[in-house]
Amino acid sequence: MASDKVTSPPGKKDYKRTSSFCGKNSNLSDLESCMMTRIEEQDKQFDSMIAYMGILRITAGHAKNQGRLEINYRGEWGTVCGNHFGNVDAEVACKQPGYCSGIMQPGNLIRHGKGAIWLNDVNCSGSESKLLDCNFNNVTIQCDHFWNDVSIHCFLNCSTEDEGSLRITAGYAKHQVDWKLSIEVKWGTVCGNHFGTLMQK
């Protein structure tokens, strides 16, 4: 579990600051009423920050399920540093908003972020229900948006019904080969390096 702890934001139950906000020339009754209203507003802001803590979104990609990973942390959206971030971590990140699974994708496929970089050295076991349940740290001084922003591709379908199946396409006849292999419901070609006659049988 991450060691980072949420603390009250500056100003929560800070009576001196609240009193200053309400005005020094207010009478006692008005001042007390203003202070209580101000404290209630700060409590609501703090509760709202906690409610959104750890929410993820995918932005700046070619589709809604592909792009730069961002997390709402301490009330502000920011990116995740890619140091040691792997496919297991991407799978947890994708499952959190409801996708069945996912993998990392090259960072050059996205527009790079700006502002805060919240998480570094994310290390998930794969059993976590959200990214903040994984081990991580907040030391991101060595992270850079251009080089380190995490990009993920979340799967829309994880059915294994066709996994390992082969099909022939783009030939002059049905027996002429352009082999394609289905892995994780995504068809792709087979590289021809060292591919010989015996393998085609």
**pLDDT number for residue 143:** 96
- Which stretch of DSSP H or E encloses residue 18? helix 15-22
Calpha distance 12→148 (Å, rounded): 34
The pLDDT confidence band at residue 168, using thresholds 50, 70 and 90, is low
**Mean pLDDT score, 6-18:** 43
Q: Which of these, 176, 61, 140, lies nearest to 107 by C-alpha position?
A: 61
Question: Does 32 score more than 90 pLDDT?
Answer: no
pTM above 0.75, yes or no: no
The overall average pLDDT reported for the chain is 76
> What are the residue boundaries of the structural domains of the chain, listed by start?
15-51, 56-155, 166-200
pLDDT digits (tens, 9 = 90+) for 96-126: 999 999 999 998 888 899 999 999 999 999 9
Calpha distance 104→91 (Å, rounded): 8
The pLDDT confidence band at residue 147, using thresholds 50, 70 and 90, is very high
* Proportion of the chain above pLDDT 70, given as a percent: 58
**Mean pLDDT score, 69-83:** 93
Contact yes or no for 61/68 (Cβ under 8 A): yes
**pLDDT number for residue 56:** 96
Three-state SS string over 31-94 comes to: HHHHHHHHHHHHHHHHHHHHHHCCCEEEEEEEECCEEEEEEEECCEEEEEECCCCCHHHHHHHH
Strand partners, 187: 182
DSSP state of 8: P
Please tell me whether residue 30 adopts helix, strand or coil conformation.
helix
Calpha distance 16→47 (Å, rounded): 22
The CATH label, of 3.40.1190.20, 3.20.20.140, 3.10.250.10, 3.65.10.10, for the domain at 56-155 is: 3.10.250.10
**Cβ count near 120 (within 10 Å):** 20
